[in-house]
A and B are shown apart, each in its own frame.
Chain A
């Protein structure tokens, strides 16, 4: 069963300017997104910067009030709820931020940082909260004695553990991890990814893992959704999507990832994407990807492709059936 399901989720930001600050149009950051995540699974959400993936994550945790559409969480639509009605769900849906250096208050001890969501939820006495903080610190691989120290005393990886501990304090069911490891060094990144996986196994957490790094997403996600200028262009299980993409944009993204094996150099044919991601306030007509697409035909410039189902996966491309796109060689098929 799906723990989270969005239908037609839309977030438009008005553009003001000119005479008397009149509205000059909208930035269509998220434009009619349908996605679902099954309980206990990880959905990877990928795309270039400016594609709306962060805005989508923030709509789901209701940091933004979406323009339209629904966010069904465990049978309840979160989109229209008031701040007061949202309170119980604030504990169940949590966000992990990207940068552990700016998301922790430098003048607050780890104990108060981690206890803050508990205080808001008014759960437990002082001693209970102290015990809870100590056990959370241990769960994320830090020592309980660190509770009275300040964030500056810790490295980037340790701070990200604190951010995770804070997110877990209210025992959430869904965690939106927005570029949760992007600011970390490679050696530390592996530790944090392993921690996120252990936590999922222990307590059946569900993750929406927002990232621009396709290598990491392949490693952590069960399913992947690809976004381009506010819309989903493809979603499938990780294995299907990486081995056989159906959308030309997915193919181009996969082929742009640098492979750390020098032997692969020159072996893979790289698909060169022309230009840059479209401006979400001036989305091209037809398929938003057509100006950069090497396969585009006449109708791609006029007809908007709908997200449709092909063999149990979803793709928004007129030519999905005709194209034979290149995925990533998997370990079993590689020579």
Chain B
């Protein structure tokens, strides 16, 4: 089936005085229609920059230097829209109406001097030809839908009057007010407690069933990914090293990095006084990307003369697309 969104060879670089940081360097991934893709990786792997690049929300010194971001229409044979080539005016229509975004820290992305109702009403009226009252009714309906108690009163609250969990709900209400086809959620629960996190994740899943939108969930937490994702893409140093169905990627990963990551997370109920298996070493400094496979200096399956020379291309192994030289010619 045609995906909803396809990212091809996306490159976003930060041009700093000390050199160029290739934060996103050849990312390819696809978001299936009406389903959830989790993009997982450690800080600095480029997952947030990828998400922001999709809506061209990157500012200097960052610059998108290459790639394609294709948004497919619902009708099967139409030409996709390349968001990187689209005019600014067209892109503004896509934001909110087709693709909306929720950020990690709601306080930083909500206006502090406007009520949450006014902020939702503004978004709705910019994209749809509706009157003030109708937009306000929509705002109240959405606040109710995301589980904010007493929405008729809360619509006139300022963000500082809400708790962290309620703010994140208000952000989600705003993002979904124009019924987007894709919701990009960048670490939406990272700043929240586990109990609130569980509420928000449940809410996202309910809303997905109701509105049929696709979700691209950026997270560093493999637990969150395992509980909500249909597909998982794993990023390391600006690249997607592995993408496939969540069940396959998280319980039977192919890439040595994903394998190490999965082993390093303590699981409830698997208590033992044994040591955790940590990934060796640290993420290399941003200006010096390793040659060949970028994971090779930390990899347990490192093959000298091969991994440090050849850049792995993505191959399909079982149901998973993986970029690693362990999976190669014979399986291609």
Q: Which residues of A contact B (CB under 8 A)?
A: 48-49, 155-158, 185-191, 193-194, 197, 212, 214-216, 218-219, 238-239, 242, 252-265, 270, 272-273, 276-277, 328-331, 334
Contacts and interface: CB of A to CB of B under 8 A. Distances in A.
A256 B197 contact: yes
A186 B220 contact: yes
A189 B227 CA distance: 21
Contacts of B202: 270, 272
Given A187-B260, A215-B267, A259 B42 contact: no
Contact of A190 (B226, B276, B283): B276
Interface stretch (B10-18, B69-77, B118-126, B244-252): B244-252
A188 B221 CA distance: 14
A253 B194 contact: yes
A190 B64 CA distance: 34
A222 B195 CA distance: 24
Contact of B266 (A219, A258, A276): A219
Contacts of A272: 198-199, 202
B265 A186 contact: yes
Could you say which of A155, A194, A219 has the most chain B C-beta atoms within 10 Å of its C-beta? Answer: A219
Nearest to A266: B227
Contact of B226 (A215, A258, A276, A334): A258
A258 B201 contact: yes
Given A190-B278, A272-B199, A260 B269 contact: no
A186 B198 CA distance: 20
A177 to B, nearest CB: 16
B150 to A, nearest CB: 13
13 contacts: A48-B195, A186-B261, A186-B264, A187-B42, A187-B279, A218-B269, A253-B195, A260-B265, A261-B226, A262-B226, A262-B229, A330-B271, A331-B269
Given A262-B247, A263-B251, A331-B269, A185 B275 contact: no
B224 A190 contact: no
Interface of B: 42-43, 163, 165-166, 193-199, 201-202, 220-227, 229, 246-247, 250-251, 260-262, 264-272, 275-279, 282-283
> Closest 5 interchain pairs by CB?
A258-B223, A187-B279, A190-B278, A190-B276, A185-B42
A259 B221 CA distance: 10
Nearest to A191: B278
Given A187-B261, A194-B278, 5 more contacts: A212-B194, A254-B268, A259-B268, A272-B202, A273-B198
B264 A187 contact: yes
A214 B194 contact: yes
A261 B251 contact: yes
Nearest to B163: A276
B223 to A, nearest CB: 3
B275 A197 contact: yes
Contacts of A273: 195, 198-199
B2 to A, nearest CB: 25
Contacts of B278: 187-188, 190-191, 194
Contact of B269 (A156, A270, A277, A328): A328
B276 A193 contact: yes
A261 B283 contact: no
Contacts of B262: 260
Nearest to A279: B163
A188 B282 contact: yes
A259 B227 contact: yes
B283 A262 contact: no
B277 A259 contact: no
Contacts of B275: 194, 197
Given A186-B220, A197-B275, A218 B227 contact: no
A257 B194 contact: yes
A242 B271 contact: yes
Given A186-B265, A188-B282, A193-B276, A263 B42 contact: no
Contacts of B246: 262
Contacts of A331: 269-272
A260 B277 contact: no
A291 to B, nearest CB: 13
B250 A49 contact: no
A155 to B, nearest CB: 5
Given A259-B267, A262-B247, A276-B196, A185 B276 contact: no
Contacts of A194: 275-276, 278
A185 B223 CA distance: 14
Given A187-B261, A265-B227, A214 B268 contact: yes
B264 A256 contact: no
A256 B200 CA distance: 11
A197 B268 CA distance: 18
Nearest to B197: A256
A256 B247 contact: no
B271 A257 contact: no
A179 B229 CA distance: 27
Given A185-B43, A187-B264, A260 B198 contact: no
Contact of B224 (A187, A258, A277): A258
A328 B226 CA distance: 17
B282 A218 contact: no
B227 A190 contact: no
A45 to B, nearest CB: 15
B223 A186 contact: no
Contacts of A242: 268-269, 271
